[in-house]
Every structure is written in structure tokens, then in C-alpha cells.
Structure 1
Amino acid sequence: MSGFTWHGGRLAEARAVYGGADWIDLSTGISPLTWPGADLVSVDWRCLPDPHDLAALEAAAAAYFGVDPDHLCTVPGSEAGLRLVGRMLDMPGRWLTPSYRTHGEIFAQGRPLAAGEDAPAEAIALLLANPNNPDGRVLPPARLLERLDGLERARGWLIVDEAYADVMPSCSLAGEVGDGRRLILLRSFGKFFGLAGVRLGFLIGPRAIVAEARRMLGEWPVSAAAIAFGRAAYGDRAWIERAIATLAEGAAQLDEVLARHGLAAQGACPLFRLIEVEDGPALFDRLARRAILTRPFAENGRWLRLGLPGDAAALTRLDRALADG
């Protein structure tokens, strides 16, 4: 179980352990809706990424997030951006739990905070995800701004991992970013657009932080393909609006299936649900034997996280597998 509890997406390992070919992967929080324009984007693999194309990508992303392009820089995935921030700030960190396992690796020194625990009144960097993973918790912007005010008084920083904010735009603090605020956001491209392999993300923060991140990353932070995909996708507002609505409908349907089997879904993020059962590894194993991969957790054997099924057939298969006890 150790590999499956580390992170999702281990289909090759699942096939090696359980066999089968026609798997449904519900082990990640990546959208099952893939942006359809990816197959139409042309990339010249012979050339280095063009600085003008990178600037155009950042302008498109900044317009989508609602920030000035000077407050945004491109990073090769939001996790890489977080690790960069940890090095730049070089101060003790705290991170809300439960959350991403890798959040504890961002800072050279620090400790976790429980969800209801207040951050100490000292110069620290507080890291949290909103929406959160794996429980889908969403903190209202007003509550986050209260935390930010307290951290600023102590000369600390608030870092918000907004990797899932595309499906819930109202929870984002992008409009609060500025040179006078000790606030840094990380955004992910692949989770919402269903293109996690592109490895594209953005750091949003004060211009001094953005300038230092650009200096550390160099002139070619991401590939020409990532630039082309992101530039086109962020401009496809019609698809984005349809996807947000479709994902919300799919999450409601998943909730109905889970409830039918006595499983209460936790979380507000439409891309996944966390359930609590008597024996999480046993349910993981039962579903895996039916070629449905989910995400168990080493730190809590009662948890199982399920990503959003991609279509009605996948949801029906999950329904039948849960019924076949």
C-alpha cells in the first residue's frame, strides 16, 4: 500500500498488482474533462521557447486570474513554485493539516498546524491550500484575510496554494495581491484543464518576489508546448465556463452515488470527494480488484479519496463496485 498512499496516478503499479487493462483512475484530483484544444495546438519543437510567447502566456493568465502581469510569473508546476517560495523567503514555516504531503517539505524548518490552531504571532510563513486537499475544505476569503492581517503585523507571509481554485473562482485571493501585501499565491494549469503532464503553473505575488523568482528560474522556465497550451486555453472562456458547470454537476452525481451506499462525502471542491469508512485499505482493495483506482492514506486508515468519474459509464461502474460488497 505504501506506493498508493504516497500520491495518486500509479496506474502502472496498480496493473502490476491487480492485473486488468480497462482501469478507471479516480486516484487524483485532476479534472476528467480535458481541454479539447490541446490536439490543435502546433508546437515548433526545433526552437527554444520565445520570450514574446512567454510574455503573451503571462498576459493571458494574468487576465484570467484578474491580476497585473507584473505580479505573475510562470513556473514549471505549482509544487515547483512552492519550493521556490520556501527558498526565497528563508524563514520558519507552518502548514495547515491535513493537506498535501509535500507542504511539509517546502520549509527548511517549521512544523504543521492543525486546522483550528492559530498561527503564532511571529515572523513565519504560513502555507495552506484553498480549496484544500484531501478533504476539500474551502476557507472563505474574509477568514484568510484575517490571517493575512495578523501575519503582516508580525512581518510574516501568507502563502496560499490555489491549485484547485479554477473550479471555485470565488475562493481566490488573486484580487488581494499587491506590493503592499505579504501574500503569495500559487496556481496550477493542469488540474483544471485536465493536462497535468504539461507541468505549468504560476506564482502570483508582490513584484519584488516575482522578479526574484524570474531571476532564479531563468529565461526558459517552461517548455514551448506549455506556453502554447496555456496561452490558448486561458483564452477559451466559453469552455472554461462550461467546464465549471459540468464539474459541479458531476460532483453532485457522485455525491448521490456515495450516499446511496451510506457514504457521506466530505468537501466542497468538485474535483474529488473524501469519504470516511471503517477500513479504507479494504475498500481500496475491493475497488482495485474491479479495476477502479482510488487514493488511500497512510496517516488515516479510515480515509479514501475518490476523484470525479469522467462519464456516466465510469460512475455506473463505481456504483456497481460499491454495491458488490
Structure 2
Amino acid sequence: MAQPAGQALRIAERRLDQEGGGQEKQIGLEPHSGRHDPRRIWTVPERAGVRRMIRHGGDLSRLRRRFPDAPEPLIDLSTGINPFSYPVPAIPDTAYTRLPEQAQIRRLKEAAAGAYGVRDPELVAVAAGTQLFISALPRILPAAQVSVLAPTYGEHAAVWSAAGAAVLEGAGPEVLHSGSVAVLCNPNNPDGRRLDAAAIETLQSQRARRGGRLIVDEAFAEFGDAHLSVAPAVPLPGLIVLRSFGKAYGLAGVRLGFLIAERGIVER
């Protein structure tokens, strides 16, 4: 008899844990000064082609099963999603049965460009959530070395590591000078750290001189200062900005995300 998908996934995860699959080696770095460097390099998972999925959210249904007498409503504080959703007008039934048309996608890109201060809608790509872009970028822009300002959203390091890149994680912004691709969440999740937009633009201008690219995940930009975003700086060479619709607007179920970059990257 076929097993339910959830049960099969749990069995597979237990087997991976037992076999040590998906675990990553941690290698300490020693800088030229001879002092210990707290940065870390994560290598490709030992079992090639296998990547443990990172669990996101508090899984309220699981908590309800474990604590059936807990008072309702349960509140998931792990997602950073605005609990006060933007009011949505009535949706016609035809919206559920028709495929998106190019004219509609164009209007969506124009709306996103206006909201994020992007000068040209053709610098905007649309997908069913920014996670699709995060997963696709290692294939679009292959890199041998990638730096990530950490601790941060775990999928960034995970997808690049699974693609074969050596991922350097560091707690200080100086780590972003390393690697052919650098990744920054601004404001950062989970600690709320933020970098000034002008400083980020200066950083990428320096990286671009040697062909470097910078991915700035602005999933929580609406919760920061008005001038925090670097989206208006696009098409600064090598700058890639990710924007999430679900967090600030409280509509994560819509699954809508945007990538803002040079036309050459958007067209890929």
C-alpha cells in the first residue's frame, strides 16, 4: 500500500539522520594575521544531490496535534508575516479559471516598478514567490565561491551549497567583499540588522569592477526606513534585488515575488 506523502517524507528524513546524509562539513578559516577567524566555509553536502529541505514557519497544525488543549487562536511568530492583511477586493470567478495574459503580467510589473521605485518595468521579473528566484539563481549565475552575511535566512546558503559552491558565512559586513557572488538580507532576518542603501551601492560598485554580483533580499524592506531599499539603484551592474509581496501585505498565500536586476539577468 502506498504511504501518505507526509509519512514518506518523515521516514526519508529519519533515514537521512541515521545515515548522516545532508550533513555539511564545517571548516575553520585562518586569516593571514594568524588569528582565528570566526567565519565558516560550508561545503557541498556529503551525499551529492541530496539537500535537506529547511522547515519554514511554526507548523500550527503540528502544534495543535501535540497540544490539543492549547487556547486558540495560535499565533505563528516565526514567519514575519503581517497579521493585518491588506484588504483584498472581491475576486471574480473567472480569475481562477484563466491563465495570466501578457498584458496582465505587464501591468503587474509596472505596478511593482512603481511601488519599488524602479525606473523601468523591464527590469522586473515576476514569479510565484521569491523562493523560486532564490532556487534558480545558482543555475542562472553559477559561482565557485559565494559569501553570505550571517546569521540569516537559511535557504540562500543552502541552495548555493547544493549547486556546488563554497559558501563563506560571516557575521561582519566585510564578508561581503569575498566571493564572485555575495548575499545580503536587508533588513536581516532574524536579527533586524540593516545596512544603509548608499553603503550597499558603494559596495556593489566596488565588486562590479571585478565582475562580482550582489544579491540583496529585501523581503522585510517595508518594515525598515523609507530609504533602505537599493531597488531604485538598478540597473547598477551586478546588483540583484528580491522583493516579497507576502510579508508586509500579509498575503503570503498569494505566492508573489519579484526580482529586480539588469535586463540580461531578468531575461534569463
TM-score, scaled relative to structure 2: 0.72
Q: Which residue of 2 aligns with 1:189?
A: 245
Unaligned runs of 5+ in 2: 1-12, 14-53
Q: Which residue of 2 aligns with 1:73?
A: 125
Structure 1 residue 87 corresponds to structure 2 residue 139: yes
Deviations 1:227-252 (A, max 9, x none): xxxxxxxxxxxxxxxxxxxxxxxxxx
- CA separation in 2, counterparts of 1:154 and 1:122? 11
Distance 1:42 1:7, change over 3 A: same
Is 2:147–2:179's contact at 8 Å kept on the other side of the alignment?
Answer: no
- CA separation in 1, counterparts of 2:199 and 2:176? 16
Structure 1 residue 102 corresponds to structure 2 residue 155: yes
Is 2:186–2:220's contact at 8 Å kept on the other side of the alignment?
Answer: yes
Q: How do 1:298-313 and structure 2 match up within 5 A?
A: none
1:152 CA drift (Å): 1.0
Read off the aligned partner of 1:42 and give its amino acid letter: P
1:79 CA drift (Å): 1.6
Unaligned runs of 5+ in 1: 213-325
Q: What value does the CA root-mean-square deviation take over the aligned residues?
A: 2.0
As a proportion of its length, which structure holds more helix? 1
Distance 1:119 1:27, change over 3 A: closer
Distance 1:139 1:117, change over 3 A: closer
Match of 2:208 among 141, 144, 152: 152
Is 1:126–1:158's contact at 8 Å kept on the other side of the alignment?
Answer: yes
Q: 3-state SS of the aligned residue for 1:158? A: strand
Is 2:149–2:176's contact at 8 Å kept on the other side of the alignment?
Answer: no
Higher mean C-alpha deviation, range 52-61 or range 166-175? 166-175
- CA separation in 2, counterparts of 1:146 and 1:209? 21
- CA separation in 1, counterparts of 2:106 and 2:261? 17
Read off the aligned partner of 2:267 and give its amino acid letter: A
- CA separation in 1, counterparts of 2:178 and 2:65? 49
1:123 CA drift (Å): 5.5
Q: Which residue of 2 aligns with 1:200?
A: 256
Structure 1 residue 47 corresponds to structure 2 residue 103: no
Q: Which residue of 1 aligns with 2:17?
A: none
- CA separation in 2, counterparts of 1:122 and 1:105? 18
Structure 1 residue 171 corresponds to structure 2 residue 228: yes
Distance 1:173 1:43, change over 3 A: farther
1:27 CA drift (Å): 2.5
Match of 2:64 among 2, 5, 15: 15
Aligned residues: 207
- CA separation in 1, counterparts of 2:221 and 2:176? 26
Percentage of matched positions with identical amino acids: 38
Distance 1:11 1:43, change over 3 A: same
Q: Which has the higher contact order (CA 8 A, sep 6+)?
A: 1
TM-score, scaled relative to structure 1: 0.60
Distance 1:117 1:185, change over 3 A: closer
- CA separation in 2, counterparts of 1:73 and 1:116? 30
Match of 2:115 among 64, 71, 78: 64
Deviations 1:109-162 (A, max 9, x none): 122321215237665110110010011111111221232123112211010001
Read off the aligned partner of 2:109 and give its amino acid letter: E
Q: Which residue of 2 aligns with 1:322?
A: none
Q: Which residue of 1 aligns with 2:3?
A: none
Distance 1:43 1:114, change over 3 A: farther
